[in-house]
Structure 1
Amino acid sequence: MNMIPDTSRARVLVVGDMMLDRYWFGEVSRISPEAPVPVVKVERLEERLGGAANVARNIAALGAQATLLSVVGTDEAGRSLERLLAAEKIDARLHEDPALATTVKLRVVGRQQQLLRIDFETWPTHEVLREKLAEFAARLPHCDVVVLSDYGKGGLTHITEMIRMARSAGKPVLVDPKGDDYERYAGATLLTPNRSELRQVTGRWIDDAELAEKAQKLRTRLALDALLVTRSEEGMSLFQADGMKHEAAIAREVFDVSGAGDTVIATLAVMLASGLDLAAAMSLANRAAGVVVGKLGTAVATLDELKGAC
């Protein structure tokens, strides 16, 4: 039995790339005469918080206090994000960049299957990022755990400095990494790459023993307290100085894995901020991931759903 602590006093600061997830749902009944593609008759539109905003949404859904620090454009998508964040009671500290087009991921869904995704994005300016760094320093004393959600959109240009500042302040730093340059994450408390992301950095492995060897070498080189690898149907593995702990995947029908990584790091952060150790937090994160993969699109595992899964 996984005991869930009182999460109401947990305070998590989330910094990173956020985006607006748009969904066009419709019916597919014919192929276009213009090209061999399906014709989707759109019947319903939906907007959801994506990226770092989805991490914050997951934190709030678990009953904790979420503060989000990010950058948006002065556009319609940015205003939609502000409205959605307010509805979720997330303390959003958004810096506006007039030169930035807020990142939007548009997904076209027919017959409960994603048919197409269209991305709209630009990078924030250096001046706005510097301003965000100053506010990050001001917010540190008021949080228990820091989450840096890197989606490779330029919002975490100063991540190395953020890690140093947070660790100097005695705050655990959890990072959801992106790309193949992990040196910039050196000194973090925990990285949470998925299986394919880790392979980009360490190369492939043939068995669990080789995975453990590669993971521990990376953890040591980057001076991390821990490395958690999410492995899809193989569950997740936590590597620390005293060895490895593995959690098997929760057996249930997988509907959509998008956003599951956000749920994992959010649950880890909330449980650490609530007093659990990493191993216990991972067990609950694994169960929370089992909840969200049974939902369509970016979703959350609520505190009640997590309790029901334990």
Structure 2
Amino acid sequence: MSSFITPIIQINEACKYNNCILGYGHFNSIHTGHIRYLKRAKDINNILLVAVLKDPQFQGVIFTQEERAESIAQLGIANAIVLLPDNNLEKAVNIINPRELILGKEYENSNINNINTTVKNLKAKNKAIYFHAGEINYANTELLTISEDNLKKEREKEFLKALKRQNISCENLIETSKRIKNTKLIVIGDSIVDQYASCEALGMSAEAPVIVVKELEQKNFVGGAAIVASHITRLGSECEFISVIGSDEPGKWIHKELKKNSVKPNLFIDKNRPTTFKKRYIVENQKLFRVSRLEDHMIDKETTKKILDYVYKASLNANGIVISDFVYGIITGELLKGITKFANESGIKLYGDLQCSSQIGDISRMEDFTLICPNEREARISIQNKDIGLEELCRILISKTKCENLIMKLGANGFIVYSHQKGESPRVQAFPALSVNPVDVSGAGDTLLSIMAAGLSSGSKIMDVAALACCGSAIAVDTMGNNPIEIEKIIDKAIKIFNK
């Protein structure tokens, strides 16, 4: 065990770190939340000792104590990792005598006697106790300290480690990709036309502090829930798409493009609203700003009933229903409630995603789903808590929504899969973002949702499907605009990583 950069020691060797800050936890399947916590501890005291709890006393820990300690050691953040023989924090603190103790925010109001007694004793000795989840950032700064090539190699190593932990082989991924083609899905959500206007920067206006650009070329892309449907058919699955459009040219264009992408479109026309149209102005690969033409009022009850009636009929032969909500008024409370009730009674899998970067939405409306895919900001808005750790955040959201599985999207830090399917122990696995310098991140979440829905509906294991989604999302962000991706490209990327 001493071969790691950070030594892994027994409790009787830990007393030499008595000026340390002591961290404590299970650290099951290392992810961004753990790294934030450890970095925060290191900021407080440069000598960091991490105590890793003994092998599982509850179902959620799927790796041995030594495996979990090795994962922390490989991060190179702590000065040493100590293996606790009996999970007794009070005993460990008495032996180590740390200068500070740092615990996750979830322990701040803990009823665990062992922890409460330890905190009380340390306070009596005027020792500092911190309850912290680490600094929460929604961006990544790694390219400031490491080259793009080296960062890419590190991410690919992380990907292969994740697959090894989940016993996923290249053959597993190939078989999963084949099964995807045997599914039929229904996608419900917003229709959006995304237009990209390529411009030449001319400089600053002499009249006012305004950037002046010359528009050179335009290109339209299918967007919103419509691109989710297009991704699904490009993967090889069948897909029907249900949405509302305006009586206008963008609506007609969406309808035509969906047919080109082999999607069966069922678009209800609302003459009181335009088809949502977003125009992005870009200079080379840099986006300057976006202009949106939309109406975000809720669709009326008559349209809601028509959609529900169609969903009931179309779902008879479907393997799953995907709800992709961009919060522009298509997914009303009545529609969501009706679809959820019908799907659960019929045994149809439900997949949900919410995108509210410039709108107000709540992912927790999606209850009793097979899978929900929020990003961290959306999750924190939903439970109104900006301080708790990532793991606790996910646990609360899973409990609140009663979902079977959750994927927490972390942008440049990849995503974490939380799986709690019936008859199985809870499982957690982090996957890295394989693209280290993306061109356009707008399609990553749509690609992930599409692959996860198609894969889980085919009966494949969630971690196998998540590995494909990790590769697919990396492909999606390496080109400008949201383009449907063939399953063959995704499996080719996975094979290349395996063969390096």
Give yes or no for TM over 0.5.
Answer: yes
- Give the stretch that moved more between structures: 53-62 or 243-252: 243-252
Given residue 263 of structure 1, which amino acid in structure 2 is its aligned partner?
T
Given residue 51 of structure 1, which amino acid in structure 2 is its aligned partner?
G
Give the 5 Å matches for 1:48-87. 48-87=221-260
SS in 1 for 2:329: coil
Matching of residue 159 in structure 1 with residue 341 in structure 2: no
| Aligned counterpart for 1:225 among listed residues 392, 397, 404 | 404
Match of 2:321 in 1: 146
Given residue 104 of structure 1, which amino acid in structure 2 is its aligned partner?
F
Q: Indicate conservation of the 8 Å contact 1:229/1:237, yes or no.
A: yes
Match of 1:216 in 2: 395
Matching of residue 292 in structure 1 with residue 479 in structure 2: no
Q: Indicate conservation of the 8 Å contact 2:379/2:393, yes or no.
A: no
| Aligned counterpart for 2:433 among listed residues 249, 253, 260 | 249
Match of 2:190 in 1: 17
CA positional deviation for 1:180: 4.9
- Give the stretch that moved more between structures: 43-52 or 247-256: 247-256
Match of 1:32 in 2: 205
Q: Indicate conservation of the 8 Å contact 1:254/1:294, yes or no.
A: yes
Matching of residue 94 in structure 1 with residue 94 in structure 2: no
CA positional deviation for 1:183: 4.0
CA positional deviation for 1:251: 4.4
User: CA-to-partner distance for each residue in 1:66-118, whole Å, 9 max, x for gaps?
Assistant: 21000001111111111211211210011111111111111111122111201
- How has the CA–CA distance of structure 1 residues 220 and 39 changed in structure 2, closer, same or farther, with 3 Å as cutoff? same
Match of 1:276 in 2: 460
Runs of 4+ in 1 over 6 A off after TM superposition: none
Given residue 309 of structure 1, which amino acid in structure 2 is its aligned partner?
K
SS in 2 for 1:301: coil
Given residue 28 of structure 1, which amino acid in structure 2 is its aligned partner?
A
CA positional deviation for 1:37: 2.5
Match of 1:262 in 2: 446
User: CA-to-partner distance for each residue in 1:33-88, whole Å, 9 max, x for gaps?
Assistant: 33322222222111111110010111122111121000001111111111211211
SS in 1 for 2:344: helix
Which structure features the higher share of helix residues? 2
Q: Indicate conservation of the 8 Å contact 2:186/2:242, yes or no.
A: yes
Q: Indicate conservation of the 8 Å contact 2:419/2:462, yes or no.
A: no
| Structure-1 separation of matches of 2:305 and 2:279 | 29
Given residue 256 of structure 1, which amino acid in structure 2 is its aligned partner?
D
Match of 1:112 in 2: 285
TM-score by length of 1: 0.93
| Structure-2 separation of matches of 1:199 and 1:180 | 12
Match of 2:9 in 1: none
| Aligned counterpart for 1:187 among listed residues 365, 368, 375 | 368
Match of 1:204 in 2: 386
Q: Indicate conservation of the 8 Å contact 2:185/2:322, yes or no.
A: yes
CA positional deviation for 1:26: 2.0
TM-score by length of 2: 0.59
SS in 2 for 1:309: helix
CA positional deviation for 1:205: 4.5
User: CA-to-partner distance for each residue in 1:155-196, whole Å, 9 max, x for gaps?
Assistant: 110112211211211111010025453442111111100122
| Structure-2 separation of matches of 1:57 and 1:72 | 17
Consecutive unaligned residues in structure 2, runs of 5 or more: 1-169, 421-425, 495-500
Q: CA RMSD in A?
A: 1.7
- Give the stretch that moved more between structures: 25-34 or 41-50: 25-34
Match of 2:491 in 1: 307
Match of 2:300 in 1: 125
Q: Higher relative contact order by CA 8 Å / sep ≥ 6: 1 or 2?
A: 1
SS in 1 for 2:456: helix
User: CA-to-partner distance for each residue in 1:226-248, whole Å, 9 max, x for gaps?
Assistant: 11101112211111331312212
| Structure-2 separation of matches of 1:235 and 1:140 | 32
Given residue 190 of structure 1, which amino acid in structure 2 is its aligned partner?
L
Greater Rg by CA: 2
- How has the CA–CA distance of structure 1 residues 68 and 28 changed in structure 2, closer, same or farther, with 3 Å as cutoff? same
Given residue 237 of structure 2, which amino acid in structure 1 is its aligned partner?
A
Match of 2:218 in 1: 45
| Structure-1 separation of matches of 2:272 and 2:310 | 20
User: Among the aligned pairs, what percent are the same residue?
Assistant: 26
- Give the stretch that moved more between structures: 33-42 or 19-28: 33-42
| Structure-2 separation of matches of 1:91 and 1:211 | 39
- Give the stretch that moved more between structures: 175-184 or 15-24: 175-184
- How has the CA–CA distance of structure 1 residues 189 and 19 changed in structure 2, closer, same or farther, with 3 Å as cutoff? same
| Structure-1 separation of matches of 2:180 and 2:226 | 19
